[in-house]
Each structure stands twice: as C-alpha cells, then as structure tokens.
Amino acid sequence: MAEDLINNKDILYFPSYLGTNDKLITLLNRASQTLCDWFSKADKNGPLPFDENFKCIMPAEDGNSEEDLFSEIESLLNNSFNPVHPGSLAHLDPPPLIFSILGDLIAAGLNNNLLAYELSPSVTLLEESLCKWFAKKIGFNDQSGGIAASGGTLSNLNALIAARNNAGLATNPNSVLLVSEDAHSSFVKCMRVMGLDTTNLVRIKTDNEGRMDINDLRKSLDKCTVENKKIFAIVATLGTTVRGAIDPIKEISEICKERNIWLHIDGSIGGIFAITSIPIKGLNNINQANSITINPQKIIGITKTSSLLLVSNMSTLENTFNTGLPYISSKENIINRGEIGIQGSRPAEVIKLWLGLRFLGLKGIENVLKTSIKRKDFFIKNISKNKFDIYSGPLHIVSFLPKKLEPKDSDAWTQTKVNELIKNNFMLSRPKFKGKYFLRVVMGNYNTKESHIKELLRLLDA
Ligand SMILES: Cc1ncc(COP(=O)(O)O)c(C=O)c1O
C-alpha cells in the first residue's frame, strides 16, 4: 500500500475524531491548573502584573515544546492585569464569571462561525433566541431582536449605521448625530468610520447631574433645522462612563417620537439593569427606543467580548446589512447572522453569555448588580464630604476630587494618589473629564468586600 500522503501520526496539532483525545485532555487540565494558580496569586500580588519578564517571543522554524509553551503561558499571565483581585476597581472590567470561562473554552473548541447558519446551526439559533429574550425583557414587541458584536463600540456602530440607513441619509454628508457631551468617546470613532467628522456630531450640554439637558437638546434640534442638517439619530446614554449618569430617556423619547428621529440608547453600562427589578432612578421607557446597546461584559462578568444590540424592528438591520452571501447556503426562515451586522466571521461569543446568564439565573444577576450598587452606596456614605467633591449617578461608578483643587493640579494629585493606592493593591483610574483629572472607582468587583472599601477610604483620607 502506498505511504499515506500526509504524515500526521506523530504530532498532535488538532483534536482527533477518533478515540478519547487523552493528550488534549491532559493539556486542558494543565492549562486550567495554570490559570487557577494565577487567580490565587493575586492574593499576594494585587491587580497589576508582578513579573516583567514576559518576552513576546515570536514563532521559530520549529514548533516549541509543551514545556516551553506552558512556561510562557505562565509568564504571560504573571505579566497581566488581574481582574479577580478585590482591589481591581479601576474600570468596567470585573472578574470573569466561572461559567463564562467555560463558555469561551467550548466556543473555541467548537470553532463555529456566526457568519452563517450552516457554519453554526445551534449557536445561530441560540444567539437569535437570546437576543429576542433580552428584547422582550426590556419591553420590545414581537418584531424585535438583535445581534451580538465584539464590544459596545461595535454595537453602537451597528445601530448608527442602521439608523442612518433607515432615515434615508446613508450618503448624505449633512447628516448629524446628537449625543450628550458626556457620551462615550466611541461615538467620535463611529462618526469617522461612517465617513463623517466631528462637525456631524452635535454635543448636547449636560446638567449638574451629568444628564443630557433637554432645553439644550431642543435648541440644538432647532438649530439643526435652520442649518439644514439632517438628524439620523439621538443617543441617550444609560450610564455615562465617568459618573454613571442616565440621560432623561422619557423626555428624549418623546422628542424623538414628535420629530420622527431614531432613538438609540447606549446602555453599555446600565442596560443590563433593565432586565431586573432593581429600582434605578431614570431607568424607564427604554422600550420607546429604536435600538439599545447592552454590554454584559462590563458589569456582570460575562467574559470579553460580549455585547448585544437590540432593535425594536429586526427588518431595520436586515435592510441595512443584507448584501447576499454568494458562497453560503441559506435556509428558509433563518437569517444568516453575518447579514444583519457589520461583522462577518464571528466566534460563538453567545455561548459564554448564555451559560453565564443561565448559571446566575435572574436572582444571581440581580444579586451581582445589587451588590455593586451597595458597594457604591457604602463608599459614598463613608467618603469624607468635607474633603472631596463627588460625582456619581444611580449606577456603580464614582468619580471624585479634593475640594478646591485647581484644575492644573488635578493631573499631579491624581497621579500621586493612583501610585500610592496601587502600592496598597488598590487600582483606581484617573479619567480626564471637563478639563480636569478625577479619581474614579468602579464598584463592579464581586470580590470586593466592605473591609476592602473601608481600607480604601482610610488610604484616601490619609
Ligand atoms: C458608555 C459606554 N459606551 C460604549 C463603550 C464602548 O464599549 P467597548 O469598549 O466594549 O467597545 C464604553 C466603554 O467603556 C462605555 O463606557
């Protein structure tokens, strides 16, 4: 018999379709052990990398041994930010949910592609069903649905492109978007991607609680009319990045209805609260929107990336993004997911969202969210009001600065404070906001207990 054309007997490159894949199981177990060891190293080392020896070695002529690779995996982990540490309070990057970690593993092994049903039959149906479930939970009707994307920026971009297309302004250079001055910087990026510039992004003032000022919105709308600018959407932010403020959604939605303008809600931070019964001031009427971004990676620990765009009418996504996929088969009544958003090939990120949510259940989701608000409340209640000006809304984010600090001194003060805090294993961020630097604490870390917050407050007071 002729030699096998392809000699694949000796080296394990891919899972085998035969036998038990013992070798793969051994490697997976070792990888799991390495990861879990790293989680627990945070206890001693804090949230920041503790070993600066990671060398970024590039592939060589011959493949590396398992031993080499495991030693480099360990080095990579030791040089990484560790979100599991209770002092990790800087950003919207909470510890990973255990069942989301499993979901990522399964998605990687499946290697299915959300581009098309034939490449991901079960996960296509799962993503469609989960989007519909979310859409119903927030009060959308039967025509609603959604699409997952790799992060809040892309979900917002999907929404804005659909909104502009829906308004018949896809090629109009006079088309404008209205957002509050505290809206996320990704809207600037979205405008660039859409072939527009900063003059097409109209910024509406915020009030002293960080919410879009409705009078200024009305004035800006009138000004747009006078200047013959065509508005394709207004964005209401449900949880601003620096202080967690919620724009007045009810009033904005009424204005959008009056003037027939697409309302997009950027709920990247606060949207997930809408599927719970937690009372959050200002979180109402969100089902009046045409689209809403919900980004569960930011607060309940679904592993990155995990973001959904929900739309009140699925046909708006189909009309915007469907080009036909000439090399892909289609199945009656099933939409290929690559035809309703800007991404083509996409991993089965929905698995970690689905497993994470099923693992928590609605009670678990509420518990994670409620505790983040409790931590924030505890922090605000106990921080010295004589010493600090505090900026916070109904969500779990607090920015603060010493009273009477000159704007020019805020850079140096926050930098010194961040350095001092990290020596004590507390990682806070220092956003630049309205011309000054602030210290910001994001209370979404489930491992952070009251004792940690007390210690943080003590250090801030020192
Ligand atoms: C309010 C808001 N919108 C959008 C985004 C962008 O999300 P992502 O980084 O997942 O693209 C962020 C990021 O923090 C955000 O805070």
And the tokens for 390?
A: 């505090």
| Ligand 1 pocket, CB under 6 A | 92, 151-153, 184, 186, 237, 239, 241, 266, 268-269, 295, 307
Assess whether pLDDT exceeds 60 at residue 31: yes
103-356 and 367-461, same CATH topology: no
Ligand 1: atom nearest CA of 297 is: 10
Nearest CA to ligand 1 atom 14: 241
Distance between Cα 268 and ligand 1 center (Å): 6
Distance between Cα 264 and ligand 1 center (Å): 14
Domain ranges of the chain: 22-82, 103-356, 367-461
Rounded Cα–Cα distance for residues 128 and 136 (Å):
12
The answer to whether the peptide bond before residue 305 is cis (omega within 30 degrees of 0) is yes
Residue 316 pLDDT: 98
Q: Which of 92, 246, 268 most suits a substitution to test ligand 1, by most atoms within 8 Å of the C-beta? A: 268
Lowest-pLDDT range of 7-21, 215-229, 316-330: 7-21
Residue 380 pLDDT: 98
Ligand 1: atom nearest CA of 304 is: 10
Distances (CA, A) of 277 to 31, 303, 365, 366: 39, 24, 11, 8
Distance between Cα 153 and ligand 1 center (Å): 6
Q: Taking the complete model, does pTM exceed 0.85, yes or no?
A: yes
Assess whether pLDDT exceeds 90 at residue 61: yes
Distance between Cα 391 and ligand 1 center (Å): 19
Distance between Cα 23 and ligand 1 center (Å): 40
And the tokens for 22?
A: 């013992």
DSSP type of residue 435: T
Residue 282 pLDDT: 97
Share the mean pLDDT of the chain. Answer: 96
DSSP type of residue 272: G
Assess whether pLDDT exceeds 60 at residue 256: yes
- Domain 367-461 falls in which CATH fold? Aspartate Aminotransferase, domain 1 (3.90.1150)
Q: List, for residues 145-198, the tens digit of each pLDDT value.
A: 999 999 999 999 999 999 999 999 999 999 999 999 999 999 999 999 999 999
Rounded Cα–Cα distance for residues 115 and 184 (Å):
28
Comparing C-alpha atoms, which of 398, 410, 380, 403 is closest to residue 441?
A: 398
Q: List, for residues 95-131, the tens digit of each pLDDT value.
A: 999 999 999 999 999 999 999 999 999 999 999 999 9
Nearest CA to ligand 1 atom 16: 241
Residue 3 pLDDT: 59
Assess whether pLDDT exceeds 80 at residue 34: yes
Residue 12 pLDDT: 82
Distance between Cα 283 and ligand 1 center (Å): 18
Assess whether pLDDT exceeds 90 at residue 337: yes
Assess whether pLDDT exceeds 90 at residue 5: no
Residue 6 pLDDT: 66
Rounded Cα–Cα distance for residues 163 and 165 (Å):
5
Assess whether pLDDT exceeds 70 at residue 290: yes
Residue 321 pLDDT: 98
Instruction: Beginning with the edge strand found earlier in the chain, give each strand of the sheet holding 230-237 in spatial order.
Output: 145-149, 307-311, 291-294, 263-267, 230-237, 175-180, 201-204
Which CATH architecture group holds 103-356?
3-Layer(aba) Sandwich (3.40)
Assess whether pLDDT exceeds 70 at residue 271: yes
Assess whether pLDDT exceeds 70 at residue 253: yes
Rounded Cα–Cα distance for residues 161 and 341 (Å):
9
And the tokens for 453?
A: 């917050």
Q: Which of 92, 150, 298, 353 most suits a substitution to test ligand 1, by most atoms within 8 Å of the C-beta? A: 298
What percentage of the chain reaches a pLDDT higher than 70? 98
Lowest-pLDDT range of 17-21, 89-93, 199-203, 297-301: 17-21
Q: Which of 184, 212, 240, 396 most suits a substitution to test ligand 1, by most atoms within 8 Å of the C-beta? A: 184
Distance between Cα 182 and ligand 1 center (Å): 12
Q: Mean pLDDT across the stretch 314-342?
A: 95
